[in-house]
């Protein structure tokens, strides 16, 4: 926010809204991890409301991507060295399936389907 953020907050306002407005305000507060008051302050000064839900989902996707790279490297090594241990193959397959499910969940969160 601009200079308004540095001024002491000495005035209080109170007003009524219907359930729809309250639900929308609460949804914005939850998505941005701001309080209701902070959402309204930011709207008044035209400051952006950045979704922390999207940021969390993107962080999760990045983490899963790193896991997939690690699993891919292990699979490549197993193929190159001819590892025939079935338990290693099963473990890598389970890790790969788990990572795929995590990617799917993160993408669904980003798409708003939760």
pLDDT confidence band for 21 (50 / 70 / 90): very high
Question: Given this model, what pLDDT does residue 25 score?
Answer: 92
Residue partners of 97: CB distance under 8 A and separation at least 6: none
Residue partners of 89: CB distance under 8 A and separation at least 6: 78, 83
Name the residue range of residue 80's domain: 52-110
- Domains held by the chain: number: 2
Same domain, yes or no, for 20 and 61? no
Note the pLDDT tens digit of each residue in 52-98.
Answer: 766 677 787 788 788 878 877 877 777 777 766 767 777 777 887 88
CB 25 within 8 Å of CB 37 = no
Mean pLDDT (the chain) is 79
- pTM passes above 0.95: no
Same domain, yes or no, for 57 and 46? no
Question: Given this model, what pLDDT does residue 5 score?
Answer: 57
Question: Given this model, what pLDDT does residue 39 score?
Answer: 92
CB 15 within 8 Å of CB 55 = no
Please give the helix or strand (H or E) that residue 81 lies within, else none: helix 52-81
Which DSSP letter does residue 88 get? Answer: H
């Amino acid at each position: 926010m601009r200079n308004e953020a540095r001024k002491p907050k000495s005035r209080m306002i109170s007003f009524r809204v219907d359930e729809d407005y309250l639900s929308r305000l609460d949804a914005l507060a939850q998505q941005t991890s701001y309080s209701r008051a902070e959402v309204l302050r930011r709207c008044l000064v035209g400051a952006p409301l950045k979704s922390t839900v999207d940021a969390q989902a993107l962080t999760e996707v990045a983490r899963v991507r790193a896991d997939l790279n690690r699993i891919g490297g292990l699979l490549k090594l197993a193929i190159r060295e001819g590892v025939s241990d079935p338990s290693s193959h099963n473990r890598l397959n389970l890790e790969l399936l788990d990572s795929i499910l995590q990617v799917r969940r993160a993408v669904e969160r980003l798409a708003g389907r939760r």
